[in-house]
Structure formats: structure tokens, C-alpha cells
Structure 1
């Protein structure tokens, strides 16, 4: 493959990633898909519909990922989640910090982008602050703190942290069988739990959100792992995944990409700053949400109510930026893309996010009671 062909392929991957993320943004805006909202609905109203929608999305993404891997379309060992080192402390602490922050910030990273596309200036502030905090945790002050504390508490899990790979090694299964049996089995259970509710079955938005969001994750795996896979880079002569920040197969995630989006915008004239799958995903979600909001006439400008509202959102954004990078992903990056691979680290991060969200909701209740 020569340089011109590689450049064309890169453009195709970026356009495909933008299209998939735009669909994600449109579906999320239309169905009010939101992890924080799902947990809040259960705690405050006893309504499980959005949580079931989230479970269905995970199930669909999980089945899709493992089918692609079992059929040989993608290589499951090449994802950013396939690591033998389980950073359990970073996942739990970072996840809890992210979960707490998303309550204060009125939604997680993906919801922030969706709200931004629908006209929220509050979301714009959260996006900028979260991106700066994420960049600091990738390469700055909080990165040093992260490296010297929670990142050092981990354990090894061979051949990798995803459960199908580990079970295949422990029980002597062929890996393709393990991918199908475990991935499809767990995914099917999640979908069955989602549709076991009559209220869920009657809701078109619940079906659209669960299936639509799950399929966008599967589509991004295919874009990155199949369309963007080059067996031999013309310069390095090594396998590579085109347009990814990590050099490995990636799917939808938004915390670190927010930081890289700000970096790209501020240093656009620097030839070394090129578009990546993560950056176009951020832009695509905003564009898709805006198109949906304008098309349904729900677009409206929104600002902060008062000083405390502003302060809470800024604190929440910092928590999400620091926590999301520490946990190696957000509610989408770990809670959907990562969990779809059945990575133990991703599952722990998701547990941390839920714990943090519950703590955030208790904190909000305390503020209301104090007032």
C-alpha cells in the first residue's frame, strides 16, 4: 500500500467515523439516552426504562463485537481494552470520580456533546473544562498524580483481561467458541432483561435507543478494526489501525477525545495535529444532535441558572475529565465500548461510575434539603 492509497483510506475512515457518531448523536438526542439520567430515574422515580435501554445497548454492542471477532472480521486481541494488566484501582477510583462528576455536570461526556448540539451553553462550558482536565490527566499535573498513585495498584490476567480470552485459556476452549458462547450469552441475557418489562416494550424510544446506540458501537468497531486496518504500513512495515490515537482498534469514547479535540482546534495550523477517529467522533455527535434537535424543533439556547449552578457544573466537568482518563473511559468508552469486549477493567470502571453517580445523587439531595 503506497502513501496515496493510505491517505485515501484515512479519509474514508474519518468520514465513516463521523457518520457513525452523527447517528449516535441523533439517536441519543431523540431518545434521551443518558447514563446519569437512567440511574437518576431509578433512584428518584423508580422508573427503570432508561436503564433497560442502556442494558439493551450494551447487549447489542456485546453481541455485535463478539460476532465480528468470531467471524474473523476484526481481531479481538487488538482493542485498546485487551490488556493482561487489570488496573482495578484506577478503574474504580476514576470511575467513581467520573460518576460523581456527571451528576453535577448534568450528564456524562456523550450527553454533554448531545446537549451542546441542542443549544446548551452550559454544555459548552462543561466540554471545555472537561477537555482541559482530561488533557492535564493525560500529560499534565494530574497525570503525574495518577501515575504515582492508583495506576500502581493492579494485577495481571493472562492472556488478557476480556473474560472470553481468559476462559478460553483456563478451560482449553478454542477462542472463537469462547467469543461466541460468552459474548452472545451475556449479551442475550442483558437484552432479555431489558425486554422483560412491558413498559419498555411499549416504548418506541426505548427500542430505538437500545438498538440504535448499541449498533453504533458495533459499527465503530468495524470502521476502526476492519475498514481502517492496514496489515503493513508503508513506512513502518507493521500492522496499524488508520486514524486512531492509540494505534490500536478503537470504538466510541469521549473523555480523552474531548482533550484531543481542543488540542486540534487550538493548534490547527500545526501539521503534526491531524484528525483522528476520536476527534471526528466528538464533532459527529454534536452535528448529529444538532440535526435531530433542529429537525424535531427541540433546539433551544440554555444558560446557567445562577452562580451555584455554574460552580457545580465546573466541578463536575473537572471530576469527569480527571476520572474519565484515570478509568480509561467514560460511560460510553468503558460502559459500552469497553464492556462490549467483556474486559474486567471496563466492568470495574462501570461499577465505579454507578457508585459515583449514586454518591452524586445523594449529594444533590443533601443540597436540596439544606436549602
Structure 2
């Protein structure tokens, strides 16, 4: 492959990422797919329908990821989640911060982008503040704090899923076979559990959200891990995953990409600042949500209700930006993309996000009781 073909493929990968993300935004806006909303429905109404939608998406993502790995389409060892270093404290602290913040900010990172597409000006403010906080936690003052504290606490394990590794060793299976059995088995169980809910069985949108959102995560794994994988770069002669910020195979995530999007916009004239998959994903979700909002005639301008509403959203955005980077992902980055690989760090982060969201709801209830 020559340089011209490489550049053409790079562009194709970006357009593919934009298209997949636009589908995500369209489906999320139509079905009200939202992790915070799922937790809120359980806490406030005892309704598990949206949580089952989210769990179904998780199961579909697991099946797709391990299925493609078994077919040899992608290499699961080339993700940021495939690591023997479990940063459990970062996952706990960052996840709890993110979960708490998403309640105050009326939704997680993906929901913020979806709401922007639907006309929410306050979500646009959340985007800028969250992106700023995320960038500071990637490379700025909070990055130094993160590196010198929580990131230094870790447990060293064998890379990959410890469950599939143990099963493979016990039964004498190849690691790929064991991973397929474990990942596929858990994925099927999650889908079955989600499908048993009465609210899911009676709702077309619930099936669309569960299968559609999960499929977009799988599609992005394919875009970066197969379409965008070049075994030998024409200049460096090394393998490369095109358009990714990490230089490895990636799927949907939205905290760090918000920072990358702001960085790309601010330094657009700098030739060294090229568009990446994360930037394209951010734009795609907003575009997809906007298309559905206009098509369904639900596009509405929305602003802050008052001073306290503004303050809560600003604090929530800061918590999400810092927490999302510290935990190495958001409800989508860790809760769907990361969990689809059966990463231990992702599972810890997911549990912490849900716990943080519960604390956020308790905090909001306390504010109401004070009044």
C-alpha cells in the first residue's frame, strides 16, 4: 500500500466512524437510550425496561466482539482494555465521579451529544466544560494528580479475561475458544434476561435500542480493527490502526473524544492536528440525533431553568470530564465497549458508575428535601 492509498483509507475509516456514530445518535434519540435514565427509572419508578435495553446492548456487543475475534477479523489483544494491569482504584474513583456527575448534568457523555442534536443549549455548555475537564485530566493539572495518585494503585494479572483464561487452562482449550465460549455465553444470557422483561417484549423501540446500539459498538470494533488495520505502514513498516487516538483498536467512547474534538477545533490550522475517529464519532452522534429530532418534529431549543440548574450542570460536567478519563471511559466506553471485551477494569468502572449515579440521585433528593 502506497501513501496515497493509505490516506484514502484513512478518510474512509473516518467516514465509516461518522456513519456508525450517526446511527448511534439516531437510535439513542428515538428510543431515549440513556444509562442515567435507566438507573433513574429503577430508583424512582421501579421500572427496569431501559436498564434491560442497555443490558441487551451489552450482550449484543459481547457476542459481536468475541464472534469477530473467533473468525479472525479482529485481534482482541490490540485494544486498550487488554491489559494485565487492573487499575481498580482509578476505575472506582473515576467511575463514581462520572456516575455522580451524569446525574447532575442530565445525562452521560453520549446523552449530552444526543441532547445537543435535539436542541439543548445547556447540553452544549456541558459539552464544552466536560471536554475541557477531560483534556485537563488527559494532559493538564488533573492529569498530574491522576498519575501521582489513583493510577499508581493496581493489581497485576494475566492479560485478557481472567475467567476465559482460567476456563481455557482447566479444559485445555485455546485462549480464543475459551474467550468465545465465555463472552458468547455471557452475551446470550444478558440478551435473554433483557428479553424476558415485559416492557421490552412489548416495545419495538426497546429491541431497536438493545440490538441497534449493541450493533454500533460491534461495527466500530470492525471499522478500527479490520477496515482501518494496516499490517505494514509504507513508511514505518509497522502495523497501524488508522485514525485512532490510542494507536490501537477502538470502539465507541465519548469522554476523551470530547477533549480531542475541542483540541481539533481550537488548533484546526495546525497541520499536526488531524481528525481522528473520536472527533468523527462526536460529530456523528450529534448529526444522527439532529436528523431524528427534525424528522420526528421533536427538535426544541432548551436552556437552563435558573442559577442552581446552571451550577449543577457545570459541576456535573466537571465530574464527568475528570471521572471519565480517570476511569478510562464512560457508560459507553467502559459500560459497552470495555465490558464487551470482558475487561476487569471495565467491570469495576461500570459498577462504580452505577453506584455514583445512585449517590447523585440521593443528592438531588436531599436538595429537594431542603426546599
TM range (shorter): over 0.9
2:146 is matched with 146
- SS of equivalent residue, structure 1 residue 300: coil
What is the TM-score normalised by the length of structure 2? Answer: 0.98
Match of 1:160 in 2: 160
**Which residue of 2 is the match for residue 346 of structure 1?**
346
Task: Answer yes or no: is 1:37 the counterpart of 2:37.
Answer: yes
Contiguous gaps of at least 5 residues in structure 2:
none
Per-residue Cα deviation, 1:224-261 (whole angstroms, up to 9, x for no partner): 00000000111211111000001000000000000000
What is the aligned partner in structure 1 of residue 309 from structure 2?
309
Figure out how many residues of one structure are paired with residues of the other and give that number: 371
Distance 1:170 1:230, change over 3 A: farther
Alignment RMSD: 1.0
Instruction: Answer yes or no: is the 8 Å Cα contact 1:157–1:166 preserved in 2.
Output: no
The equivalent residue for 2:74 is 74
TM alignment of 1:260-275, pairs within 5 A: 260-275=260-275
TM-superposed CA distance for 1:216, in Å, is 0.2
Secondary structure in 2 aligned to 1:38? helix
Per-residue deviation, 1:295: 0.3
Aligned position for 1:362: 362
* Contact 1:334–1:347 (Cα < 8 Å) also in 2: yes
Q: Distance in 2 between matches of 1:299 and 1:353?
A: 29
Shift of 1:164: 2.9
Alignment of structure 1 residues 304-343 onto 2, 5 Å: 304-343=304-343
> What does the per-residue CA deviation read over 1:125-157, in whole Å, with 9 as the maximum and x for residues that have no partner?
000000000000000110011011110110111
Q: Distance in 1 between matches of 2:255 and 2:162?
A: 22
Within 2, Cα distance between the matches of 1:137 and 1:96? 16
Q: Deviation at 1:163?
A: 4.1
Q: Once the two structures are superposed, what CA deviation does each residue of 1:289-317 show, in whole Å capped at 9, x if it has no partner?
A: 00000000000000000000000000000
Runs of 4+ with deviation above 4 angstroms: none
Q: CA deviation at 1:180?
A: 1.6
Is residue 2:244 matched to residue 1:244?
Answer: yes
Partner residue in 1 for 2:192: 192
The answer to whether 1:180 aligns with 2:180 is: yes
Corresponding position of 1:257 = 257
Aligned to 1:208: 208
Matched, 1:131 2:126: no
Instruction: Name the SS for the 1:250 alignment partner.
Output: coil
Is the 2:161–2:179 contact (alpha carbons within 8 Å) kept by the matching residues of 1? no
What secondary structure is seen at the aligned counterpart in 2 of 1:8? helix
Q: Would you say the 8 A contact 1:86–1:161 is kept in 2?
A: no
